[in-house]
Structure 1
């Protein structure tokens, strides 16, 4: 006599077949998603443009996001951006160089430099002044147009880029704790007026007249082109006040990447006004702005203040509260992604308001002059 059939054997077989089918479907779905994952800059642009993604969506979806730390001038910005992205939950890594066959997406601060070979996928973060008398070669704008995204610190630059067919996102520089470096100990701040940068006739004319303004006196000065390393930190430690003078005569923007470390290291800053109203107004009450002819008087007035030391500290606190880099990057991440060569300017941050629009218009007019 045949043994009786087990009632549950057929049910178990059907369950196994169902589980196997579900597993196969899941594997096929994963394979399809991996195949559909965008590869290369052009694919990333199409992928995110179709999905109406935010900038944060883009950053968080990039599997291998890297920051290239290849410039001593911008290294502190890379470190600040890295710390900020980490705080905002964006996975990334920092690298001093870039393999020639890399499949990673890089955030580059040196896209404009001809010797920098570009990866297949990159985000261009521009900190250069595009609106001045300097003539930029066409390849610079071609590189920006081919990026996954373009970030820029200045609304005036953004207006000029838009006129060249490149849409950029406003990501200003601001306060980040990583900017501060330990300073060497000095007996006293023995430098009244510090100037850091390359000297030309325009700058020398202003610096030479510092002691001739109303209320001025003979100052202990330090004019240096040592813009990095231990020499720079020693200059910060020794100096009470720094002047910022534009190199070019028209279309000049605020040299933010030079000014911010001065503020963080408790150096009073007097700066020539720029053509970007947003940049200047964002630092109102933190930096003293003057026309070129008024810089000497502004320096004399600042150094004569009996509350000089207390005001330096107060300005640093204002800077931290009003210009936090984390807030700037977070707001940028909330914006909608735009393809750089899609035509037309990206909208400016709401916080910029009319001042940003005025600054952008002024920058574009200066560039066209």
Structure 2
């Protein structure tokens, strides 16, 4: 690719430290996707835990946690927001909004972007979650022996369908704080991975689901507030009302062929959304910082 003359050429895709904070791994797959896409576009990129690499434009994941550790980011850093922006979110603090106003912000969700602009954060670029082939890496399990699997922060709302499925005699599992190969091994064993909201009426959790779709994992998801985004993935994900989660799971557990067909549709959909298509215009639009 011929790079625009004014484009920054060296990047550090950075997951905010400290490395002792295990939940930073929730950003890993998207950070890897951005890093690999930058390399494919011809940029010099490193995947890093260091916020102070000289001579590189940092693209920072986990900026919502920076204040916990009293960490500063470089003045030219790009902040890639993966949190849902809403009035009841624990992440939407005056401190975070002030940080966003001082930096270029990338966000995967148009709904988030509209909310941020209402909160006085004007410089937000839409960068959807895309695909790179390197993230097709969940190995097929010899047997899918978990009926329904949920991985994420747990509360009563998320646990209720899992507990009902257990009462019906199914192997329904919920896990929190599991990342990397250990989490992927669970995904590989699941007939259904369940995506439900922590609170009511939230945006589609494509940050989590995109990785599942790219790896041919079958997903049942609760309906979401951003119907346009849900429509985009309707052929790949089974969407249902919260009150219908259990019967929907039972329906698809009884039909392996339908699960397989939908999972393959998800993989095909993600392959048609290369991350390079989204990163190229975002990088081209970055303000040039001259030394």
Q: TM-score, structure 2 length as denominator?
A: 0.83
> What residue is the counterpart of 1:121 in the other structure?
76
> What residue is the counterpart of 1:243 in the other structure?
194
If asked which structure has higher relative contact order (CA below 8 Å, sep 6+), I would say 1
> What residue is the counterpart of 2:237 in the other structure?
287
Larger Rg: 1
In the aligned structure 2, how far is the partner of 1:182 from the partner of 1:199?
23
> What residue is the counterpart of 1:173 in the other structure?
129
Shift of 1:312: 4.2
Matched, 1:112 2:112: no
2:85 to 110, 117, 130: 130
How has the CA–CA distance of structure 1 residues 321 and 258 changed in structure 2, closer, same or farther, with 3 Å as cutoff? closer
> What residue is the counterpart of 1:221 in the other structure?
172
Shift of 1:108: 0.7
Shift of 1:187: 3.5
1:81 to 26, 34, 58: 34
Shift of 1:218: 3.1
Secondary structure at the aligned position of 2:77 is classed as strand
Secondary structure at the aligned position of 1:72 is classed as helix
Q: CA RMSD in A?
A: 2.6
Secondary structure at the aligned position of 2:26 is classed as coil
Q: How many residues align?
A: 274
Secondary structure at the aligned position of 2:203 is classed as coil
More helix per residue: 1 or 2?
1
How has the CA–CA distance of structure 1 residues 242 and 88 changed in structure 2, closer, same or farther, with 3 Å as cutoff? same
Matched, 1:97 2:50: yes
Given that residues 112 and 140 in structure 1 are in contact (C-alpha distance below 8 angstroms), is that contact kept between their aligned partners in structure 2?
yes
- Of stretches 138-147 and 113-122 in structure 1, the one that deviates more from structure 2 is 113-122
How has the CA–CA distance of structure 1 residues 75 and 306 changed in structure 2, closer, same or farther, with 3 Å as cutoff? closer
> What residue is the counterpart of 1:258 in the other structure?
208
> What residue is the counterpart of 1:27 in the other structure?
none
- Of stretches 193-202 and 130-139 in structure 1, the one that deviates more from structure 2 is 130-139
Secondary structure at the aligned position of 2:234 is classed as coil
In the aligned structure 1, how far is the partner of 2:256 from the partner of 2:11?
49
Shift of 1:57: 4.8
In the aligned structure 2, how far is the partner of 1:279 from the partner of 1:96?
31
Shift of 1:248: 1.5
Which blocks of at least 5 consecutive residues in structure 1 are unaligned? Answer: 1-55, 340-369
Secondary structure at the aligned position of 1:141 is classed as helix
Alpha-carbon displacement from aligned partner over 1:6-41 (angstroms, at most 9, x marks no partner): xxxxxxxxxxxxxxxxxxxxxxxxxxxxxxxxxxxx
> What residue is the counterpart of 1:203 in the other structure?
158
Secondary structure at the aligned position of 1:209 is classed as helix
In the aligned structure 2, how far is the partner of 1:209 from the partner of 1:111?
37
Which blocks of at least 5 consecutive residues in structure 2 are unaligned? Answer: 17-23
Equivalent runs, 1:28-107 vs 2, <5 Å: 57=4, 61-62=7-8, 64-70=10-16, 71-99=24-52, 102=54, 104-107=56-59
In the aligned structure 1, how far is the partner of 2:99 from the partner of 2:165?
42
Secondary structure at the aligned position of 2:44 is classed as coil
Secondary structure at the aligned position of 1:61 is classed as coil
Matched, 1:324 2:274: yes
Structure 1: 4+ residue segments shifted above 6 A: none
> What residue is the counterpart of 2:19 in the other structure?
none
Q: TM-score, structure 1 length as denominator?
A: 0.67
Alpha-carbon displacement from aligned partner over 1:131-161 (angstroms, at most 9, x marks no partner): 26224211111111111x2110111100011
Given that residues 155 and 198 in structure 2 are in contact (C-alpha distance below 8 angstroms), is that contact kept between their aligned partners in structure 1?
yes
In the aligned structure 2, how far is the partner of 1:231 from the partner of 1:200?
22
Matched, 1:267 2:217: yes
